[in-house]
């Protein structure tokens, strides 16, 4: 036997450590297959495999009762109907404990809650014609310009009530707005609940990292010109979200992040750990679970595409938990329905944590730990 034959023979007889994964099976997809069987059995490679890993990480580890899950939302998800179809079931079943969203997602979701319709359309229309006809386009979603005007009017009317004439964080702002959205749904007998109304009912705090960067913020700005006193305390939001994460850890639990898209909401949900460790000087390690759905590349340097391993260098992710991270490069409008349906199929509802009701107590705990950390440094 020559040297080459000896090498081949040795390799054939050895156990190759990288060949431990399940075999890829090119079996036909059966008729009427369930979502869990489809994902587990047929999402076998590339980003389909990453989406399978995301579903499994979410249901097998992140949805344990001791994990507090923060979800960030970026991109025009609610105009596509994903508020009522996916985000609401995630909240109602206790699969999400706190949320950071663009204000736009909360604003556009309210269209449905106050009785308006958005329509399927085409991305290849002449926008000059749409402008003349008073039709708004979000890629291939179309709706009447009056939908914006009516929604603006709804928010301005609500924001003029006495309870809004003070300074507050965005969690309190959205909780109070959610009460009015829920009331409007009841009056109109709207069947599918909105994100704000559902978060209000379930005690899930909803934050907006850039409250002025949306039509809700624009309408708050209008009330200021009209002499009203609504003020948004963005610094409270920074500390309050950090308090949510610290509370989860100090109570003997863990923290996970479920990120759809990137941008400012992604940063805001992740910066909680650097706020705790770097700025406040409190001993902590980072989030335990990281699951992101994104279409952004990491090599451009933008946060939207930044990987979990990069987040470790910032203290955002616990380095010991890096295996419990998944990034799937998939359009959120594809991934969110799959993840939601898979989770509803594979996991029973969790007990609601109702973190909104515990914000004051958690802030006091954060203050005590910060005070102790300062004394140690003196």
Residue 293's alpha-carbon distances to 33, 49, 125, in angstroms, are 24, 13, 29
Rg (alpha carbons) of the chain, rounded to whole number: 23
DSSP-based three-state secondary structure for 122: coil
Q: Give the model's confidence band at 299: pLDDT under 50 very low, under 70 low, under 90 confident, else very high.
A: low
Tell me whether residue 150 is in a domain: yes
Domain span including residue 243: 32-377
Residues 277-300, mean pLDDT to the nearest whole number = 87
Residue 96 token pair: 């999400």
Tell me whether residue 73 is in a domain: yes
Per-residue pLDDT tens over the stretch 352-371: 999 999 999 999 999 999 99
Mean pLDDT for the chain overall: 92
Tell me whether residue 297 is in a domain: yes
Q: pTM of the full predicted structure?
A: 0.91
What is the model's pLDDT at position 313? 62
What is the model's pLDDT at position 168? 98
What is the model's pLDDT at position 318? 61
In sequence order, which ranges of 58-205 are alpha helices (DSSP H)? 82, 88-92, 103-113, 127-133, 145-159, 170-188, 195-202
pLDDT for 6 beyond 60: no
What is the model's pLDDT at position 18? 84
CB of 101 closer than 8 Å to CB of 265: yes
Tell me whether residue 2 is in a domain: no
Tell me whether residue 94 is in a domain: yes
Report the percentage of the chain scoring pLDDT > 70: 89
Q: Give the model's confidence band at 16: pLDDT under 50 very low, under 70 low, under 90 confident, else very high.
A: confident
The C-alpha torsion from 48 through 51 and 56 to 62, rounded to 10°, is 170
Cα three-residue angle 271-263-310, rounded to 5 degrees: 55
pLDDT for 8 beyond 60: no
Tell me whether residue 259 is in a domain: yes
Q: Which of 166, 316, 346, 374 is catalytic?
A: 316
Q: What is the CATH number of the domain that holds 71?
A: 3.40.910.10
Q: Which residues contact 276 (CB under 8 A, 6 or more apart)?
A: 242, 245, 246, 282, 284
Least confident of 52-66, 101-115, 123-137, 309-323: 309-323
Residue 179 token pair: 């009460």
Per-residue pLDDT tens over the stretch 47-83: 999 999 999 999 999 999 999 999 999 999 999 999 9
C-alpha closest to that of 90 among 103, 108, 72: 72
Tell me whether residue 16 is in a domain: no
**Side-chain half-sphere exposure of 52, counting CA atoms within 13 A:** 14
What is the model's pLDDT at position 316? 63
Q: Give the model's confidence band at 191: pLDDT under 50 very low, under 70 low, under 90 confident, else very high.
A: confident
User: Which of the listed ranges 32-41, 278-287, 312-321 does the model predict with the highest average pLDDT?
Assistant: 32-41
Per-residue pLDDT tens over the stretch 24-34: 999 999 999 99
Residue 14's alpha-carbon distances to 21, 55, 187, in angstroms, are 16, 33, 70
- β-pairing, 231-232 vs 289-293, is unpaired
Tell me whether residue 260 is in a domain: yes
DSSP-based three-state secondary structure for 331: coil
Least confident of 10-19, 58-67, 194-203, 244-253: 10-19
316 is catalytic: yes
Number of domains in the chain: 1
Residues 262-275, mean pLDDT to the nearest whole number = 93
DSSP states along 346-368: HSPPPPP--GGGGHHHHHHHHHH
């Amino acid at each position: 036997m020559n040297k080459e034959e000896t090498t081949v023979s040795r390799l054939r007889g050895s156990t190759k450590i990288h060949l431990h994964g399940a075999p890829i099976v090119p079996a036909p997809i059966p008729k009427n297959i369930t979502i869990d069987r489809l994902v587990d059995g047929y999402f076998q490679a590339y980003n389909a495999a990453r989406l399978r890993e995301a579903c499994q990480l979410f249901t097998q580890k992140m949805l344990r009762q001791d994990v507090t899950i923060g979800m960030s939302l970026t991109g025009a998800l609610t105009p596509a109907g994903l508020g009522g179809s996916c985000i609401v079931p995630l909240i109602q079943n206790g699969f999400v404990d706190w949320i950071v969203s663009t204000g736009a997602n909360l604003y556009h979701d309210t269209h449905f809650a106050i009785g308006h319709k958005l329509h399927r359309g085409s991305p290849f229309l002449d926008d000059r014609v749409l402008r003349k006809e008073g039709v708004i386009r979000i890629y291939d979603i179309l709706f009447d310009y009056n939908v914006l005007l009516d929604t603006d009017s709804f928010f301005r009317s609500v924001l003029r009530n006495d309870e809004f004439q003070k300074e507050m964080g965005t969690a309190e702002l959205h909780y109070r707005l959610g009460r009015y959205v829920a009331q409007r749904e009841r009056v109109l007998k709207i069947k599918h609940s909105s994100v704000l109304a559902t978060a209000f009912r379930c005690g899930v705090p909803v934050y907006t990292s850039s409250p002025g960067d949306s039509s809700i913020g624009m309408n708050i700005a209008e009330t200021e010109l009209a002499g009203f006193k609504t003020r948004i305390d963005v610094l409270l939001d920074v500390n309050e979200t950090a308090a949510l994460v610290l509370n989860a850890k100090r109570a003997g639990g863990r923290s996970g992040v479920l990120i759809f898209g990137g941008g400012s909401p992604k940063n805001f949900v992740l910066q909680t750990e650097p706020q705790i460790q770097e700025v406040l000087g409190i001993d902590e390690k980072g989030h335990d679970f990281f699951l992101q759905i994104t279409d952004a590349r990491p090599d451009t340097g933008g946060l939207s595409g930044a990987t979990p391993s990069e987040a470790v260098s910032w203290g955002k992710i616990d380095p010991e938990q890096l295996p419990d991270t998944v990034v799937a490069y998939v359009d959120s409008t594809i991934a969110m329905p799959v993840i939601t349906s898979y989770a509803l199929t594979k996991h029973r509802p969790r007990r609601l944590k109702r973190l909104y009701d515990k914000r004051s107590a958690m802030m006091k705990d954060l203050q005590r730990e910060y005070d102790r950390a300062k004394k140690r440094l003196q």
